[in-house]
Structures are given as C-alpha cells and as structure tokens.
C-alpha cells in the first residue's frame, strides 16, 4: 500500500505557483470548493519514488498570514488546524527570483508555525539575464530550510523538488526569528495563560478577523484574552512585519547580489503603451477583435466535421439498431442530437479559453484590469469588481464567488447583481448558432460580420453590467468607495504546458457539466415530444389530408410535425407562444427558452432534439441542426429565423437571467432570496423589452 504525503503549495500571487503545481501534478488534478465556502480548492497527485504519492493542495495566493479576505483565511485556518485531513506534512513556499524579499515575509511566518518548509525560488532561468546571483548554502543555513531553484519554463529543478518533498523529515522546523521581542511582556502573559499552546499560533488567532470555528472553540480559545485593543494589536502586527523585513534584508545583503546594470526598461516601455489612457483602450479593442475573428476562422473546419459526424451517427443509429421503434428514436433523436447540439461548440469554446489563458499567462490581463479601473470607479463599482466581471466571461458562478474579495458590502452586492450580464461561455453556443443563421457572410477591413457581431454582444453585456451598476449605485446610495490595488506581474512568454492544461481542464469542465444537464433534459424533452394526450396526437393520420402530389415521405413529415405540435412539449410551447410571439419566436423556440433556464447552452441542444423528432423518414439523411433551423418556417411559408427574430433572440439571451445555478449561488452569497428574485425579475424585464423593441423595429 503506497504512502501519501500532504503538501501545501503556498505563495504570493504572481510567483508562478500555478506553474509549479502543473509541473508537479500535470493533468492529475481537480478543482472543487472548500466545505461550506465558495473558494476554489485545487488539488492534485504527484508520484514520488518507491510508491510514495504526494497530495498537493494549491492554496489561494496570499501575501502574509495577516488575512484580509476569505481566500487568505482559508490558508491560515488550514495551517492552524492539525486535525484537518489536508493539514500539511510539508509546506512549499513558492517565491519569484525577482521579488524574493517580499515573498520571504510569508515564508518566515510559516516557518514560525514549525511546519517543515521548503523554499522554491521560481523563474531561476531569469537570474543570468537579470544579473542576480544567490548563495544557496548561506540562505539555507540562515533560513533553516532547503531551497529548490526551479524553472518551470526550462523544466529544471522539479526532480530536485520532488526529492526534497520525499525527505521532508530532514528539514529543520526551527523558526527563523523570535518575534516575541516586539512586546516581551505581552507574549509572556500569553504563554502563561496558555502554557500548552504554541505562542505564535495564539498570536495569529488573536489578530485575525476570521472565524476559526472548531479551532477557536476547542484548541485555541482566546476569546477571554482581551489585554489589548484592536488598534494596539494592529501596531504590533506592523512591528512584526518591520522586524521580519529587517531580518530578511540582513540575510539578503549577504546571500543575494543584483547587478542593476543588467535591468532592462522594456517592461516600463510596454506599460506606458498598454495602460495609456488612449492607446491602452485602442490596443485592447483590437486584441478583442482579433480573438473573435480567430474564434470563427480557426474553428470552422472542426465544427463542420463534428456537425456532419453527429448527423451521420444519428442516421447510422436509425438504420442499424435492431427493430427500430421507440428505443432507436430515443437514441437517435434524443441522445445523439441533444449531445451533438453542444459538442459542436467545443472548438470555439476551447479557442476562447486558449486566448484568455494566454492573456493571463503573459501578464497582460492585469494591465487590462488596471486600465479598466479608471472607467469602473465612475459607475459605483469597486476596482476589485473587475476581477469578477472578467472571470464572468468563463462562467457567472465562480465570478459571483470572486466578489468575496470586495470588502464593502454594497459594492459587493452591486457586483453580484450585475455580473450575470457579462457574456459567459454558456451563452456562446446560443450566439454562435443564431449568428450563423441570421448574420450574412462578408467582411469589412478583413473582419467578418459574424465575428464583429459576436464581439458586439460581449461589449453589450459588459456595457449593460456597467450601466446597471450605475443605476443600482444611485438606488442603494453607496457612499464608501474602495480602490483597487493590483500587482503588475512581469511580462513573460506564456508557458505552453500551463496554457494546454488550462484549456483542457476548463473545456472538460464545461463540456461534462453542461453535458450532464443536456443529456438529462434531452431525454426528458424527447419523452415529452414523443407522447401526448388526446385524439389529435394518437390519431394524427386522420387529421392530415393527403394532397395528390404529396410523396409518402412528405406526408410522414407532416404527420410528425402535427404530432409534435400536439405532444406534451408542444402544449407547453403553445401555451407560452402568445407571450413570446411579439418577440418573433414560435412555440418551438419557446420550448428552448423554458428548457434553457436549467443552463443557457441547453437551448441549442433542445432545438436539436425538437427538430429531430420525426423530422425524417427512416433511412433518409438526417440534416444537421443548423440546416434544420434555417429551413424552419411558419404555416404561411415565412422563415422563423430572420434577421429581426435572430437579433431579438440574441438580445434576449444577452440580458436574461437564464441559469438556475447562478440564482442559487447568488442566494448563497447574499444569504437571502430577495436579491436573486429581484435579479431574475429585473434581468428578464430588460431582456424582454430590448428583444421586443429590436424585433418590432427590424421586422
């Protein structure tokens, strides 16, 4: 039986912690949430020698153990609770070779917790170019640790790091310095009050605003130890930080040499351009244009291949399954068509995640956040709101969770309420299929009309989020503003391994999470579309008059369409049709709107299922979903999907709150049903009015 070690990966933001995590675990990783809290819990397995495995827990980025946000509290709570199943046998502190002094503050604090601690100095490949040299032996002796020089770009130092993890018991747990000297009397009284506890752990519990739950109540109950005011404790924290930096500076003076003549001014030159008050926005705009153009151009071939493959698969099922009947229809029309309606968009979703990952890896995304902060402050949002709004392009659920970094409650509430306006990846399949149907081919200055439309929808969603925030700011009367402080990481070439892992993991999560919902709903929809009450469904043949020129296949399709209209799902669609007809939608689109409340991307899968039910006779070629939608007509022969109805539908999905999961997470974050219900009503009203105006104007 193999042994497993618990390893905590800790570090400041932008030190390359994710790169080290990926180098250790590869694709053998998963992301969940900490129990009871909406903070990402990223973990993976690293195989060491002799059957030993390391369970690597990638903790949220933190600058110190003086927590100021929920994700930083997660780090402290784990490190203080030996009873936690993830409590580390060894801690790895990841530092950046160019910001070693700042990173070492956190390192010295964790050393004081007497956990075996390894110091990883990352990006070591930059040392020669930046004129940095380190005396590793001296640094190891002074900091009582083992140091691994790592370059994830060059894939060096990882083997040595694994060896250090395996031999963690040989690493000294001696603290770096004695912090009790900042107030000797206070710490002596603390030791007397709690003789069996570690004094530095007690100090951390006393000075944190976090609720340590079981730790506080059972192990470190300091609630009665009130000998200093909060102001005095803050002053002592400042003294502690000063003492630690004095210690760090003294060691680096001996163990680190930096040749300043080798420092380049490239970063400052790029920053002057990329965060310029005019050119910064122009460059960002053209980067977005290029991304959306590439999403269309690069994904065309794989999408067409997937589309025809699923159409052929559905036809093969109909022709091959023994005996035909309801089971064959369920597989061909319900399961295959439903899943095919979402799988077709994997290439474009993967390319979207690819570009976002490259922007983040290169260091440019932090510049975008800083650049847009100038705009955000005018609309009542905290600069910190930009992080949720940008992450909302992937999914609104983690974006709502990310608002926990916003200290001011009203600013956080406004951000939670407007985040769903940003275009998430779940809307992408809806946008892509409708744009392909109603926006003509063609281009202007090398940019296709379809790519420009997609970009306009993204900008429209972001603009509505900003406008809504402005209105809410006036209604809720937010008075106290907080300002966004963002660290500008160094520019670097994106690491291919990180980009690939990010794209695979995020695309896989999207497909499997959406796939489960779509598969379930596709089966339910097929059942509701294949059965119905009353005589019109059961004896449809008697209601259809046969024209003399009509072929048997045409009559069969006419009967199938009549049965679908009088099936259970048809009745639902017909019931809501009067409400949605002014928007340009028929009852089949209405079914898609209702079904997609489970998840927006279900809309395409729903229509794929609806249009597949009895749409062709057995043995006849089954059209692809796009062709079926393009050929869909009303009784008078006019097309269902026109420019007017298409734009109306795009606007409805751009603004509507159609995701049960998002509503659930908003309820969880606000601890009330009041806000998600108001959010649902408000966004639906905006979507309906905008879609109504667009259709009536364009038709």
pLDDT at res. 494: 81
Look at residue 104 and tell me if it is in a domain: yes
pLDDT at res. 260: 65
Give the pLDDT mean for 424-444.
81
pLDDT at res. 44: 87
Output the domain CATH number for residue 57. Answer: 3.40.50.300
Residues 155, 128 share a domain = yes
3-state per-residue secondary structure call for 129-148: HHCEEECHHHHHHHHCCEEE
Which tops the pLDDT comparison, 249 or 72? 249
Lowest mean pLDDT, pick from 155-164, 182-191, 231-240, 366-375: 366-375
> Which contiguous run of DSSP H or E holds residue 63?
none
pLDDT at res. 217: 42
Residues 362, 251 share a domain = no
Structure tokens that stand for 671 in this block: 């601890």
Give the separation between CA 79 and CA 101, rounded to whole angstroms.
22
pLDDT band at 265 (very low <50, low <70, confident <90, very high): low
Give the separation between CA 255 and CA 93, rounded to whole angstroms.
18
pLDDT, tens digit (0-9, with 9 covering 90-100), for 586-630: 888 888 887 777 667 667 767 766 666 544 443 333 456 677 777
Look at residue 119 and tell me if it is in a domain: yes
pLDDT band at 146 (very low <50, low <70, confident <90, very high): very high
Average pLDDT, the chain: 79
For residue 329, give the nearest of 536, 534, 343, 338 by alpha carbon: 338
pLDDT at res. 244: 92
Residues 310, 360 share a domain = yes
Residues 303, 177 share a domain = no
Give the separation between CA 609 and CA 590, rounded to whole angstroms.
14
Look at residue 210 and tell me if it is in a domain: no
pLDDT, tens digit (0-9, with 9 covering 90-100), for 667-697: 877 878 889 899 989 999 999 999 999 999 9
Residues 504, 410 share a domain = yes
Place of tokens 């999470």: 513
SS3 378: helix
Q: Who's near 604: CB < 8 A, 6+ residues apart?
A: 341, 342, 345, 429, 430, 433, 592, 625
Look at residue 229 and tell me if it is in a domain: no
Lowest mean pLDDT, pick from 262-271, 412-421, 635-644, 680-689: 262-271
Sign of the Cα pseudo-torsion (388, 390, 392, 397, in order): negative
Runs of H (alpha helix) within 344-492: 346-362, 364-376, 386-391, 396-401, 409-418, 428-438, 449-476
pLDDT at res. 620: 39
Which of 232, 262, 292 is the last residue before a domain boundary?
262
Give the separation between CA 26 and CA 14, rounded to whole angstroms.
19
pLDDT band at 341 (very low <50, low <70, confident <90, very high): low
Domain that holds residue 632: 264-531+567-699
Residues 344, 254 share a domain = no
Quote the Cα angle for 542-547-551, to 5°.
Answer: 95
Look at residue 188 and tell me if it is in a domain: no
pLDDT, tens digit (0-9, with 9 covering 90-100), for 8-63: 999 988 788 888 888 888 766 555 443 333 356 788 888 888 778 889 998 888 88
Count of domains for the chain? 2
Residues 525, 611 share a domain = yes
Lowest mean pLDDT, pick from 166-180, 302-316, 388-402, 428-442: 388-402
Length of the chain: 699
Q: Who's near 40: CB < 8 A, 6+ residues apart?
A: 31, 32, 33, 60, 398, 401
Residue 285 neighbours by CB distance under 10 Å: 12
Give the pLDDT mean for 419-438.
83
Residues 162, 300 share a domain = no
Which of 262, 290, 310 is the last residue before a domain boundary?
262
Which tops the pLDDT comparison, 640 or 341? 640
Residue 463 neighbours by CB distance under 10 Å: 12
pLDDT at res. 614: 47
pLDDT band at 312 (very low <50, low <70, confident <90, very high): confident
Look at residue 547 and tell me if it is in a domain: no
3-state helix, strand, coil in the chain (%, to 5): 65, 10, 30
Neighbour-count burial of 308, counting CB atoms closer than 10 A to its CB (0-12 exposed, 13-18 middle, 19+ buried)? exposed
Runs of H (alpha helix) within 42-155: 70-80, 100-111, 127-130, 136-143
253-273: b or e for each residue (b if 16 or more CB lie within 10 Å)? eebbebeeeeeeeeeeeeeee
Residues 372, 333 share a domain = yes
Structure tokens that stand for 591 in this block: 């079914």
Beta strands in 158-314 (DSSP E): 256-258
Strand partners, 147: 119
pLDDT higher than threshold 80 for residue 221: no
Give the separation between CA 660 and CA 639, rounded to whole angstroms.
31
Give the separation between CA 618 and CA 630, rounded to whole angstroms.
22
Residues 168, 312 share a domain = no
Which tops the pLDDT comparison, 336 or 462? 462
pLDDT higher than threshold 70 for residue 556: no
Most confident by average pLDDT, 67-71, 354-358, 466-470, 570-574 = 466-470
Residue 88 near residue 6, CB atoms below 8 Å: yes
Residues 255, 272 share a domain = no
Look at residue 235 and tell me if it is in a domain: no
pLDDT at res. 36: 38
Residues 398, 316 share a domain = yes
Look at residue 201 and tell me if it is in a domain: no
Structure tokens that stand for 115 in this block: 């956990």
């Amino acid at each position: 039986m193999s042994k497993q070690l618990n390893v905590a990966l800790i570090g400041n933001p932008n030190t390359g912690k994710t790169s080290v995590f990926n180098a250790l675990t590869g694709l053998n990783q998963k992301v969940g949430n900490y129990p009871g809290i909406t903070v990402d819990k990223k973990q993976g397995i690293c195989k060491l020698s002799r059957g030993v495995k390391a369970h690597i827990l990638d903790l949220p980025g933190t600058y110190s153990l003086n927590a100021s946000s929920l994700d930083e509290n997660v780090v402290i709570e784990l490190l203080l609770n030996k009873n936690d199943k993830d409590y580390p046998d060894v801690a790895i502190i990841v530092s950046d070779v160019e910001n070693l002094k700042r990173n070492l503050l956190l390192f010295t604090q964790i050393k004081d917790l007497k956990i075996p601690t390894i110091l990883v100095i990352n990006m070591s490949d930059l040392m020669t170019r930046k004129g940095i040299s380190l005396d590793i032996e001296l640094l190891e002796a002074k900091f009582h640790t083992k140091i691994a020089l790592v370059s994830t770009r060059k894939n060096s130092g990882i083997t040595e790091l694994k060896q250090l993890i395996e031999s963690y018991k040989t690493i000294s747990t001696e603290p770096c310095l004695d912090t009790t000297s900042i107030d000797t009397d206070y710490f002596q009284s603390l030791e007397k009050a709690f003789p069996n506890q570690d004094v530095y752990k007690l100090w951390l519990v006393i000075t944190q605003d976090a609720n340590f739950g079981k730790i506080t109540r059972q192990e470190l109950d300091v609630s009665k130890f009130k000998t200093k005011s909060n102001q005095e404790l803050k002053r002592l924290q400042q003294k502690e930080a000063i003492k630690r930096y004095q210690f760090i500076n003294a060691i680096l003076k001996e163990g680190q040499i930096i040749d300043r003549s080798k420092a380049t001014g490239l970063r400052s030159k790029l920053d002057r351009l990329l965060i310029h008050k005019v050119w910064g926005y122009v460059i960002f705009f053209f980067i977005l244009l290029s991304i959306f153009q590439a999403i269309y151009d690069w994904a065309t071939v794989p999408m067409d291949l997937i589309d025809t493959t699923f159409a052929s698969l559905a036809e093969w099922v109909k022709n091959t399954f023994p005996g035909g009947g309801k089971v064959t229809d369920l597989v061909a029309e319900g399961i295959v068509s439903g899943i095919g309606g979402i799988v077709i968009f994997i290439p474009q979703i993967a390319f979207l995640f690819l570009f976002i990952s490259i922007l983040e890896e290169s260091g440019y995304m932090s510049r975008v956040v800083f650049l847009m902060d100038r705009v955000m402050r005018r609309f009542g949002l905290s600069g910190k709101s930009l992080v949720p709004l940008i992450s909302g392009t992937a999914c609104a659920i983690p974006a709502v969770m990310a608002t926990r970094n916003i200290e001011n409650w009203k600013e956080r509430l406004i951000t939670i309420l407007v985040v769903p306006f940003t275009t998430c990846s779940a809307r992408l399949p809806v946008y892509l299929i409708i744009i392909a149907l109603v926006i003509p081919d063609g281009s202007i200055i090398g940019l296709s009309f379809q790519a420009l439309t997609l970009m306009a929808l993204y900008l429209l969603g972001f603009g509505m989020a900003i406008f809504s925030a402005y209105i809410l700011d006036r209604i809720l009367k937010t008075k106290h503003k907080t300002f966004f402080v963002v660290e500008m990481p160094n520019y670097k070439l994106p690491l291919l391994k990180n980009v690939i892992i990010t794209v695979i993991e995020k695309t896989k999560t999207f497909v499997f999470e959406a796939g489960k919902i779509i598969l379930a709903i596709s089966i339910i929809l097929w059942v509701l579309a294949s059965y119905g009450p009353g005589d019109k469904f059961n004896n449809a043949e008697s209601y259809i008059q046969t024209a003399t020129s009509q072929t048997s296949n045409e009559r069969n399709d006419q009967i199938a369409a009549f049965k679908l209209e009088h099936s259970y799902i048809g009745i639902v669609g017909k019931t809501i049709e009067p409400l949605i007809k002014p928007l340009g939608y028929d009852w089949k689109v209405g079914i898609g709107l209702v079904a997609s409340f489970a998840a927006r991307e279900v809309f395409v899968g729903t229509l794929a299922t609806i249009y597949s039910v009895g749409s062709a006779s057995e043995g006849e070629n089954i059209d692809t979903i796009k062709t079926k939608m393009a050929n869909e007509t009303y009784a008078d022969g006019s097309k269902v999907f026109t420019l007017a109805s298409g734009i109306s539908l795009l606007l409805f999905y751009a603004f509507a709150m159609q995701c049960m999961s998002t509503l659930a997470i908003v309820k969880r974050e606000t601890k009330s049903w009041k806000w998600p219900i108001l959010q649902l009503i408000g966004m639906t009203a905006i979507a309906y009015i905008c879609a109504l105006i667009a259709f009536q104007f364009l038709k």
